[in-house]
């Protein structure tokens, strides 16, 4: 049995879908407060539902029963819910899950993290690193996926990239290269790694097929759309100011993430693709898909 914690989220939902379509047994952790449409979509896929919460260890013990592989994609970064904080979920909650998985003697724990930066720390990054350390010390065979920037999130309207309205936003100079990756491909690689003995006790970095600057990306979209975009730039100093003056761990995390993205993140995927042959989506393909509506 595979357990996906974060099943109602973007990446966790994709992992559930791929596992179910491959005929593999999947259990998804859902919360009483989860979006009912997302829960219904999981049921339609044939995913077994386990109701629980990373803040409730007993619910995790029950969800882990009979599980061989745990995938944890969960995060509170977008949560609007009182008390569902980065500290309670991404730090303490993930630690609870590691403990439940250890007691259930799972054979692999795949933890989804991100690349992060060594230049400075921020709450989400600190929590991710703490979880990865805890997992490595737990005795459970583990795989940590360190993913680069999801194109569907960072090249999407929620973060000011709005091709339908000819608008784009760049962080810092917009001239640093980034290995934009599709979350679909992160899901494929996470499953391939979970099923590979060779990926046991390893960190796997996951990026897209080609590192491109923000300006390269905007040119691709402009060519495809046949129009110039209005580009808003958030300078590095402004982002540093946001980080220094942040009034909450979430604000500090968003400023930290924008700085991380603005300063660039390149990954050479060739060695990883030799081991796990997944076809990676390019920004060009993504642009075509988005502009086609
Ligand atoms: N966006 C990027 O560019 C990027 C890059 C690299 C790595 N990542 C990582 O990829 C992972 C997946 O991202 P995503 O976009 O799929 O996230 P998402 O769509 O925001 O999903 C978050 C999931 O976490 C669950 N969750 C929140 N609080 C919980 C709690 N207390 N107990 C149990 N589950 C809880 C949510 O459940 P409910 O539906 O019940 O709220 C939801 O299923 C994250 O860990 C993120 O850090 C993202």
What is the value of pTM for the model shown? 0.97
Kindly give the distance from the C-alpha atom of residue 223 to the centroid of ligand 1, in angstroms, as a whole number.
33
Find where tokens 């995938």 sit: 71
Contact assessment for residue 27 and residue 2, using Cβ atoms and an 8 Å cutoff: yes
Model confidence pLDDT, tens digit, residues 135-175: 999 999 999 999 999 999 999 999 999 999 999 999 999 99
State if residue 60 touches ligand 1 by the CB under 6 angstroms criterion. no
Model confidence pLDDT, tens digit, residues 52-92: 999 999 999 999 999 999 999 999 999 989 999 999 999 99
Mean pLDDT of 46-51: 98
Cα-to-chain-centroid distance, residue 156? 15
Other beta carbons within 10 Å of 105: 11
Q: Packing angle between helix 57-64 and helix 94-103, nearest 10 degrees?
A: 40
In the three-class reduction of DSSP (H, G, I as helix; E, B as strand; rest coil), residue 195 is classed as: coil
> Of ligand 1's atoms, which has the minimum distance to the CA of residue 257?
3
Q: How far is Cα 107 from Cα 177, in angstroms, rounded to an integer?
A: 37
Model confidence pLDDT, tens digit, residues 187-231: 999 999 999 999 999 999 999 999 999 999 999 999 999 999 999
State if residue 9 touches ligand 1 by the CB under 6 angstroms criterion. yes
């Amino acid at each position: 049995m595979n357990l996906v914690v974060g099943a109602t989220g973007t990446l966790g939902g994709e992992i559930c879908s791929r596992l179910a379509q491959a005929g593999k047994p999947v259990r998804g952790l859902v919360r009483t407060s989860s979006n009912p449409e997302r829960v219904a979509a999981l049921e339609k896929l044939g995913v077994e539902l386990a109701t629980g919460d990373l803040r409730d260890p007993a619910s995790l013990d029950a969800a882990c029963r009979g599980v061989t592989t745990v995938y944890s994609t969960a995060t509170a970064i977008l949560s609007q819910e009182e008390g569902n904080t980065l500290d309670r979920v991404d730090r303490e909650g993930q630690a609870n899950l590691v403990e439940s998985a250890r007691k259930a003697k799972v054979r692999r724990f795949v933890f989804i993290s991100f690349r992060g930066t060594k230049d400075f720390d921020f709450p989400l990054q600190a929590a991710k690193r703490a979880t990865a350390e805890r997992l490595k010390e737990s005795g459970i065979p583990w795989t940590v996926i360190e993913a680069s920037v999801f194109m569907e999130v960072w090249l999407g309207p929620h973060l000011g990239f709005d091709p339908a309205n000819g608008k784009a936003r760049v962080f810092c100079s917009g001239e640093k290269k980034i290995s934009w990756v599709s979350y679909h491909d992160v899901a494929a690689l996470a499953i391939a790694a979970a099923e590979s003995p060779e990926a046991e006790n390893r960190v796997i970095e996951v990026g897209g097929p080609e590192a491109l600057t923000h300006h390269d990306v905007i040119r691709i979209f402009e060519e495809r759309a046949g129009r110039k975009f209005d580009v808003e730039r958030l300078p590095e100093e402004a982002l540093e100011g946001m980080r220094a003056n942040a009034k909450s761990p979430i604000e500090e995390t968003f400023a930290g993430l924008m700085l991380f993205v603005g300063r660039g993140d390149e990954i050479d995927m060739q060695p990883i693709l030799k081991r796990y042959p997944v076809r990676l989506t390019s920004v060009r393909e993504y642009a075509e898909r988005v502009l086609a509506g």
